[in-house]
Structure 1
Amino acid sequence: MIRLAKEKDMEQINNLLYQVHKVHSDARPDLFKAGGKKYTDEELKEIIKDEEKPIFVYETDGKIEGYAFCVLINNDGEKSLCDYRSLYIDDLCVDKNCRGKGIGKKLFDYVLEYAKRIGCYNLTLNVWEGNDSAMQFYKNIGLKIQKIGMEKIL
């Protein structure tokens, strides 16, 4: 079942936040602190309440097996951009013990349909270089590169 996250889900969501952070800290220890997570509990509570930042969870028998953190972006009135709504997937994670079961695809498809239903022009996300499995997953489900961030470490 896929549904909106609730405060009672925070412990399980935090477990997944640590998992996805580990992927990033393993790939980029120069940028991500080992053992961390993206949000504090207070920040997570606020996000759960925010209708502009829905978190969808995939639940089986009371266990959260994956999530998709989303952010609604309105580009109305921007000087150089056309007016459009976009849904940004800020974070998508499937529990490391549940991968390969199609949960990520189901979450993505659910979020895609949600974005269509609320009138979004597009659905976007970012993938860190070095997260090859995520990059391949997104390519396999039909995402195309929109823009590329580049760096030179000083």
Structure 2
Amino acid sequence: MMKEKMEILSYNKVDENLAVLIELHKLISKNNKLNNHLIYFDTNFPSYLKKIVVDPRCNYIFTLRLNGTIEGVIHFKIFNDIIFLNNICLSENCQGKGLGKIFLFESLNLLNKTDFKYFTLDVFMSNQRALLWYKNLGLEMNKSTTWKQIFLINNQEYKSLSDEMIFKKDFNGFNSLFFNEVKIATIVNNTTMLIHDLTYINQMPLYKYILITNQDTEFLKNGNFEITDLDTSVRMICPMKTFLNNSNKLNIK
């Protein structure tokens, strides 16, 4: 049987493979209750991805190719002295084969940012396999955020928008709701409203959307709302030197 040829390459120019990267991103929430509600499913996501592909300031993308076919994508974001793993996505055929470790550490080698102090990421608690994987790589849980769905107890009548509240695209091209020029929600495919600020929830046009938030909803429990937990996102962190040293322990070269 012929050995597969593996390549890990920087992806910094939009080409015909962009559609593959988009589909790989959709696997992030495949097995949790946020599936179809995140920006990866929005019709504006391809335009956003094109934008960050060519942004060398803080976004770095690498692809995993087996025999020339893209089977994985990694997206790092750089913040001051921190490398944030925004996403790592492998095709279902490549999961559980140890390729993720190789892909991650080799991409970091290509990134060549060894002078950074910390490596950090977010992972869903529902993805216990990934959570355990990151723990074995030396990352520790730092904080957590619960994603919830908000239900209206009484059907809300249509509300006309006030002068302070408008729908428009945000800086990244996603349809959003703004209050006095401050973004308070992202609209995904005109069906889901990801609410980032619940301060003005009683003034928001909620009736036509599936309402999702990762904000504190305690104050809503005494109102006309019911809250259901969907999943918990955990922020994990590790000193960069410790994380890179673990590649030697795992025999990753």
Structure 2 gaps of 5+ residues are 1-6, 147-215, 218-226, 228-253
> Normalized per residue, which structure has more helix?
1
- State the TM-score, normalizing by the size of structure 2: 0.49
Task: Name the larger-Rg structure.
Answer: 2
Cα 1:18/1:110, change in 2 over 3 Å: same
1:84-140, CA deviations, whole angstroms, 9 ceiling, x for partnerless residues?
Answer: x11100011111111122221012212443565352111110111211111011112
* 111, 125, 128: which one aligns with 1:129: 125
- State the TM-score, normalizing by the size of structure 1: 0.77
Cα RMSD for the two superposed structures: 2.5
- Does the Cα contact within 8 Å between 1:66 and 1:103 map onto a contact in 2? no
1:46 aligns with 2:54: no
Measured in 2, the distance between the counterparts of 1:34 and 1:58 equals 23
Measured in 1, the distance between the counterparts of 2:49 and 2:113 equals 25
> Normalized per residue, which structure has more strand?
2
- Does the Cα contact within 8 Å between 1:112 and 1:123 map onto a contact in 2? no
1:16 aligns with 2:21: no
Measured in 1, the distance between the counterparts of 2:126 and 2:10 equals 30
What is the correspondence of 1:1-154 to structure 2 with a 5 Å cutoff?
A: 1-5=7-11, 6-8=13-15, 9-23=17-31, 27-29=32-34, 33=37, 37=41, 40-51=45-56, 52-74=58-80, 85-114=81-110, 117=113, 119-145=115-141, 147-151=142-146, 154=227
How far is the alpha carbon of 1:42 from its aligned partner?
0.7
Cα 1:105/1:40, change in 2 over 3 Å: same
